[in-house]
Chains A and B, each alone.
Chain A
Amino acid sequence: NAGVTQTPKFRVLKTGQSMTLLCAQDMNHEYMYWYRQDPGMGLRLIHYSVGEGTTAKGEVPDGYNVSRLKKQNFLLGLESAAPSQTSVYFCASRTSGQGPEQYFGPGTRLTVT
C-alpha cells in the first residue's frame, strides 16, 4: 500500500514549456486535490476532483488544467509554464465518507526559469 505517490519529484522547465504532473493513490479514494505551496502562504488549492471524470476549480486555478480519467489518477498540466508557477506541488486524496482527513503525496518541486 503506497498511499499517494507523485511523479516526478523534481523538474526544471523553461518559460513556455509544458508538462504534466501525475498523482496516483491506491486507497480507492473518491476525492483528490492539487495544492501549491509557496513560502509564507501555506498551501493553496489549485483544482480538485470529486470522482472519476469530474474536476473543479479551486482557489488558484489559472494557468493549470487537470484530468481524472481513472479514479486512482489525477493529472495536473501546465500548458505554458511561467516563472510564477515555480512552487512545490502537493497532491492529496480522501474518502467521501466519514473520516475527514486528507492524505498527502511527497510533493513535486518545480522550477520555471
Chain B
Amino acid sequence: GNSVTQMEGPVTLSEEAFLTINCTYTATGYPSLFWYVQYPGEGLQLLLKATKADDKGSNKGFEATYRKETTSFHLEKGSVQVSDSAVYFCALTHNAGGTSYGKLTFGQGTILTVHP
C-alpha cells in the first residue's frame, strides 16, 4: 500500500534560518504529492503540490521537487519567519477514479517552531 514518511520533529529554528523537512514515499504508479500546513487551532491548508516527476511546487517561499528516482518530496525554505510556525504534513494521492478515489495518505506531521 501507499505510505509517507516524514522526518521526526519537532524542528526548532531561529528566524531567517534555512528549513528542510524530509519526506519520502512508497506508492505504485505516479502519485500526486502535496505539502499541507496546519497553523495552531486551524484546519489544513494546501501549501504546494506537484503532479508529476521533476515538477517543482512553490508557494510563500516554500519549495519542493518531485523526485521519482529517490521517491522524495522534501520541503525547503531559504529564510523562515516566526509566522511559519505550524505543523507540516506531506501527503500523496492518486487521481480520482480507479480504486483510490483520490484518498490522501499522510505522513505523521512535523512541528516547526521558529523563534525571533
Q: What is the minimal beta-carbon distance from A95 to any residue of chain B, in angstroms?
A: 8
Within 8 A of A (CB), among B41-94: 42-46, 49, 51, 89, 93-94
> In chain A, residues 29-78, which have Cβ atoms closer than 8 Å to a Cβ of chain B?
30-31, 33, 35, 40-45, 48, 50, 56, 58
Query: In the assembly, what is the distance between CA of A96 and CA of B102, in Å?
Result: 8
Contact between A90 and B43, CB atoms less than 8 A apart: yes
Cβ contacts under 8 Å, A105 to chain B? 43
Structural contact, B43 and A33, CB atoms closer than 8 A: no
- Bound together, the chains give a CA A111 to CA B32 distance in angstroms of 34
Given A95-B96, A100-B95: 4 more A-B contacts, CB < 8 Å: A31-B101, A42-B89, A43-B106, A104-B45
Interface of B is mostly: loop
Question: Taking the nearest CB of chain B, how far is it from the CB of A109, in angstroms?
Answer: 9
Interface string of B101-116 (1 = CB under 8 A from A): 1111011110000000
Min distance, Cβ A68 to any Cβ of chain B, angstroms:
13
Q: Kindly report which residue of chain B lies nearest to residue A98, judged by CB atoms.
A: B95
CB pair A100 B93 closer than 8 Å: yes
User: B29 in the interface, Cβ–Cβ < 8 Å?
Assistant: no
Quick check: A43 and B42 within 8 Å, CB to CB?
no
Q: Are A100 and B102 in contact (CB under 8 A)?
A: yes
Chain B interface (Cβ < 8 Å from any Cβ of A): 4, 32, 34, 36, 42-46, 49, 51, 89, 93-97, 101-104, 106-109
Determine if B102 and A42 form an interchain contact, defined as CB atoms under 8 angstroms apart.
Answer: no
**Residue tally, chain A, CB below 8 Å to B:** 29
Chain B nearest Cβ from A9, distance in angstroms = 10
Within 12-35 of A, Cβ neighbours of B (below 8 Å) are at 30-31, 33, 35
**Interchain Cβ contacts under 8 Å between A and B, 11 examples:** A35-B104, A42-B89, A42-B107, A58-B103, A92-B44, A92-B104, A94-B102, A95-B96, A96-B102, A100-B95, A101-B34
**In the complex, how many angstroms separate the beta carbon of A46 from the nearest chain B beta carbon?**
11
Question: Please, how many angstroms separate the alpha-carbon atoms of A42 and B93 in the complex?
Answer: 15
Question: What separation, in Å, do the CA atoms of A33 and B51 have in the docked complex?
Answer: 21
Chain A residues, CB < 8 A from B97 = 96
